[in-house]
Amino acid sequence: MTSHQFALIEAPSNLGLKPQKPNQQPGVRRMPNALKQTGIMSGLKVEQNVRVEAPAYQPERDSVTGVRNINTLPDYSIKLATAIGQALDASNFPIVLGGDCSILLGSTLALRERGRYGLIFMDGHCDFLTPTSTGTGGAAGMDLALVCGVGPSKLTDLKGLSPLVRTTDVVILANRDIDEDSDYEEPAFIDAHIKRIGLQNLRELGIAQAVEEAINHLAQNNVQGFWIHVDVDVLDSAIMPAVD
């Protein structure tokens, strides 16, 4: 990794979450600043540092779809994809600091515009909810479903490129919200048959073997590469409590 030149792309968006309290918007928009203050990037050669500001957060749920901020998320995702695409075109390795998980839309759009890419989805939850099954209306709980083409077309069909990622080209790593796919509350997830290495399974395999299994799964589909998405709630809350 040290041979790469890196592009740090800040995506301080909280558009995908529900309000924490009345009149208080979600705090994850502060994440890029907080991580930079820790010196997290000091060991990397950063050639680009771009900040893609998010539009104002609106707490109300859309009257038609039930999704919060559905009218601003598409444009923001396209702007984020443009910034990531510019990094890729400059042969820089993009590192995107969110934000909530709805930034996955912009990340996968950037790659979808360039071909067929896979996704390694590291998250404590499968995030394959829909407006029908979600209790929050937040796109951050639907992000994997949305990039796989399941959900409102305003969010799934960005630039007419749905799906941004094929379900066969996804591996979920280390989720802890279900034991069996059939336990999940969204039927579309069960129908998708996504490759999943849950937390307990990962512990049994060991990290090295689990990663090898994930990469081999993507390689057999002849993808051009893959995006790694990490939600910090994949970590135990005892060591990562700063999640909305």
184-225 confidence digits (pLDDT tens):
999 999 999 999 999 999 999 999 999 999 999 999 999 999
Give alpha helix (H) positions in 38-182: 73-89, 104-112, 143-147, 153-156
CATH architecture, range 6-234: 3-Layer(aba) Sandwich (3.40)
- Rounded to whole angstroms, the Cα distance separating 237 from 97 reads 19
Contact 154, 161 (CB under 8 A): no
For 73-119, the pLDDT digits (tens) are 999 999 999 999 999 999 999 999 999 999 999 999 999 999 999 99
Residue 192 CA to residue 119 CA, distance in Å, equals 15
pTM reported for the whole predicted model:
0.95
C-alpha separations of 68 from 43, 177, 199, 223 in Å: 37, 23, 30, 32
What's the pLDDT tens digit per position in 117-139?
999 999 999 999 999 999 999 99
Structural domain boundaries in the chain? 6-234
